[in-house]
Amino acid sequence: MRATFLMDRLKSFLKALKRHLRRWRPQLRRGPSHARVDDVARFKFHLSSMCRGHLTSDKSELIDELKRTIRDVHNFPKPGIVFKDVTPVLLDVKLFGQAVEAMAEPYRSARITRVVSIESRGFLFGAPIALELGAGLVPIRKPGKLPAATQRVEYALEYATDALEMHHDAVQPGDRVLVVDDVLATGGTANAAAQLVARHGAAVAGFSFLIELDFLKGRQRLQGRRVEALLHYA
């Protein structure tokens, strides 16, 4: 059993090393001085996550473990709502790392340059996913929270409107953007984030969520874009 465990770790390490060598090859041809420091940092982060415990080989085991760990909180934030509390996942270093890696995995070959994370629980997953993908992190926040010049998009709620803002220089034409949040519910917030990205001339390569509440049909509001979610609740 121990030998199998170590062999799996070695295979994962070699796979990660091969991927990062492909990324570094153009710089290495021009000499070591051209190798980017942040590329080295990203590889160290990936190696560190492997040492904490790599992604479960059987994805169904990870999904089962996440569902056992996520806590249902009834009547929050208002009566009749069953809230999916992800904070117990964050307390488990190994499980948290596995969830982050699984959320990033579908987009490893998508040439992501920016990860847009949505206030506020989206920050928890967006930051480590950005490191996993070697991309810059862009926070999208409610009005008045970002310090520099912003652009805003308003979107409709059931009985009101809300708004999101992003720094005007956060993404540029040519960027390939992954939008990250903890939960896909009705899709209004995620769609607003995609609109902000599009206004800057960048392309939304897809969305990554920890949880999708299928019964709310939020995927339909995302206009046929690629949507990945680890957990589904019907």
Which of the residues are catalytic? 121, 158
Q: What single-letter DSSP state applies at residue 56?
A: P
* Burial class of residue 35 (count of CB atoms within 10 Å of its CB; 0-12, 13-18, 19+): middle
Angle 23-36-172 (CA atoms, 0-180°, nearest 5)? 80
DSSP H stretches of helix in 53-108: 59-69, 87-91, 93-104
Q: Which residues of 36-65 are buried (b: 16+ CB within 10 A; e: fewer)?
A: eeeeeebbeebeebbeebbbbeeeeebbeb
Which residues share a beta bridge with 212? 184, 232
Asked whether the beta carbons of 140 and 190 are under 8 A apart, the reply is no
Cα torsion angle, 97, 103, 108, 114, sign:
negative
C-alpha 179/C-alpha 122 separation (Å) is 9
C-alpha 122/C-alpha 185 separation (Å) is 13
